[in-house]
């Protein structure tokens, strides 16, 4: 049985699909691809919990800053949070997933270097799993409540991380 967050996401996803189906029912055969596209569209956002920063920051009027992530993706940095979406980098679900995970790693590292102590995040399930693992590694509190499937995936994701150098530097 999934967490409340997963159930909400499943209900929201189902509701969104129902709305899209209604909107696109006149499109004919193209309608059946909407669910696949939504599932394959990788995205992720991570942001600090309001009480996690001990110092108050002056908001930069030039926000967001556009970051070209080493994975090739672009992220928008709002200083207290970073967001990304696959956008023009979509080349297929399997080839885009590795880039998504490297982008999530970069985003979590950015916030860790800023001294963030607690975060919340949203996005593709695999991205949230990666963020949970990385936040645990960096000692950043987060709201992710792993279920049995998440725990099974953890081992594979950690092995993938170990194959590459641990890049966070204080």
Q: What is the pLDDT of residues 65-103, one digit of tens each?
A: 999 998 888 899 988 899 998 877 666 555 677 888 889
**pLDDT by residue (tens digit) across 127-156?**
999 999 999 999 999 999 999 888 888 888
Structure token digits, residue 165: 């150098």
pTM value > 0.85: no
d(CA 48, CA 63): 16
In 46-64, which positions are buried (b, 16+ CB within 10 angstroms) versus exposed (e)?
Answer: bbbbeebbeeeeeeeeeee
Cis peptide leading into residue 64 (ω within 30°) = yes
User: Coil, helix or strand for 142?
Assistant: strand
How sure is the predictor about 161, in pLDDT bands with cuts at 50, 70 and 90?
confident
Does residue 165 have a pLDDT over 60? no
Q: Show Cβ contacts of residue 63 under 8 Å, excluding neighbours closer than 6 positions.
A: 77, 78, 79
- C-alpha torsion sign, points 126, 131, 136, 138: positive
């Amino acid at each position: 049985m999934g967490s409340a967050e997963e159930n909400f996401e499943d209900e929201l996803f189902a509701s969104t699909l129902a709305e899209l189906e209604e909107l696109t029912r006149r499109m004919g055969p193209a309608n059946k691809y909407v669910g696949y596209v939504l599932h394959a569209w990788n995205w992720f956002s991570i942001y600090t919990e309001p009480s996690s920063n001990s110092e108050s920051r002056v908001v930069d009027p030039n926000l967001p800053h556009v970051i070209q992530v080493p994975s090739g993706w672009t992220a928008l940095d709002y200083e207290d949070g970073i967001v990304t979406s696959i956008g023009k980098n979509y080349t297929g679900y399997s080839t885009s997933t590795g880039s998504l995970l490297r982008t999530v790693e970069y985003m979590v590292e950015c916030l860790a270097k800023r001294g963030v102590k607690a975060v919340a995040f949203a996005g593709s399930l695999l991205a949230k799993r990666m963020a949970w693992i990385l936040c645990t590694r960096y000692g950043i509190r987060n709201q992710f409540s792993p279920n049995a499937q998440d725990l099974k995936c953890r081992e594979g994701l950690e092995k993938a991380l170990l194959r590459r150098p641990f890049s966070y530097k204080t």
